[in-house]
Structure 1
Amino acid sequence: MKKYLILYKPFLLFLAVFFLTYIVLTFLYQNYLNSFEENKTDSITKMVGKNTEQVLLLFVDDAAIEESTAHPYMKLFYNTKYVARIVEGCNAVSVIILFLSFVIAFSGKLITTVLYIIGGSLVIYLLNVLRIAALSALIFYFPKQEALLHEVLFPLYIYGVVFILWLIWVRKFSRYASNGN
């Protein structure tokens, strides 16, 4: 048994750091969410909604976000039509937590790790806002394709981005990255 612990120590250490980081960050995020009154939208989701509205207004004259008074979400209107809700799960925080946990578990030099976490989180946030804007427009024009767009294509898009960021991290910046090759 000791032989296997020594043999698989890097992998076991990665798993321990990954899951510990994920659990701690998820716990902190859950406490943040619990600080809001029932049926009130959290401020990160509001910000995602506002940023989505700003992106849509670059392309159409009539896009709007409105906070629901009865539920914790933002209503998204595209060309005066109510096309989508932006709920807490749409704000990409859980995806960013997953990204952070992996990068920390495969950490490199401190400054490089911190900069990559900040940069990667910004990339995920911005691409998520663009994802919601594109999804809203596509739902407006292709309402019968909503399930395919929302449940298949756009999750592939956001998780694909995270996977690519992970690959870049491991191959270029982590302590396991090859030097100069």
Structure 2
Amino acid sequence: MLKDFKPVLGILLRFIIIYLVLLFAYQFYLNSFKEFGLDPYSRLIARQVMFVQNALGFPSALYDDVPKQQIWFHVRTGFVTRMVEGCNAISVIILFVAFIFAFYKGTKTFVFVAVSFLILYIMNVLRIAGLNIVYSDYTKYGKMAHDYAFPAIIYGSVVILWLVWIKFFALKNENS
């Protein structure tokens, strides 16, 4: 009876172990930058968002609020949003990577994760820039955009990439 579930249990165990290892590593990373404010990866995201907004004609600047571990986005005439650690999508990416590696398929797993990370990075930068533009020019839609529309972008991207991995790589017959 247990033999029938062995492949599923193997996948589940790999997922849990990889997820926990990545989660603890990320928490260790965050703890090492606590006294410096926002972590370097989140700062990189904020700078990229500012670059995109400036390129789109939305003059932007950043204000570093070290004690509160956040960066404020100043767009056009005022501060519209703030970047905190949760905005960097790493927790979602950790979940994504653990899922992909649970269905490990050799070298193509690493290639798929690298390409997917780049896609999710770009989607997240565009998501935050879009959210800042909504808060700057369409304030009354800000809460709805923040709570529903823009999270759907990052989570939807993850689900689409998961489906691509499962359909075209993980469950693909190796002999055909």
Q: Normalising to structure 1: TM-score of the pair?
A: 0.92
Aligned partner of 2:169 among 166, 170, 173:
173
Q: Which residue of 2 aligns with 1:44?
A: 41
Alignment of 1:24-173 (within 5 A): 24-38=21-35, 40-60=37-57, 62-108=59-105, 110-173=106-169
Distance 2:175 2:13 in 1: 29
Where do 5+ consecutive residues of structure 1 fail to align?
none
More helix by percentage: 2
Give 1:40 deviation, angstroms.
1.0
Residue 113 of structure 1 aligns with an amino acid whose one-letter code is: T
* Alignment size in residue pairs: 176
Where do 5+ consecutive residues of structure 2 fail to align?
none
Deviations 1:21-45 (A, max 9, x none): 1110000000000001336110011
Distance 2:107 2:66 in 1: 43
Give 1:128 deviation, angstroms.
0.1
Q: Is the 8 A contact 1:39 1:71 kept in 2?
A: no
Residue 88 and residue 166 in structure 1: after superposition, are their counterparts in 2 closer, same or farther (change >3 A)? same
Q: Which residue of 2 aligns with 1:16?
A: 13
Structure 1 residue runs of 4+, over 2 Å off? 178-181
Residue 24 and residue 177 in structure 1: after superposition, are their counterparts in 2 closer, same or farther (change >3 A)? same
Residue 162 of structure 2 aligns with an amino acid whose one-letter code is: W
Distance 2:152 2:175 in 1: 32
Distance 1:96 1:21 in 2: 12
Distance 1:60 1:125 in 2: 22
Deviations 1:34-57 (A, max 9, x none): 001336110011000000001001
Deviations 1:72-110 (A, max 9, x none): 0111111131010010000111111111001000111x2
Q: Normalising to structure 2: TM-score of the pair?
A: 0.94
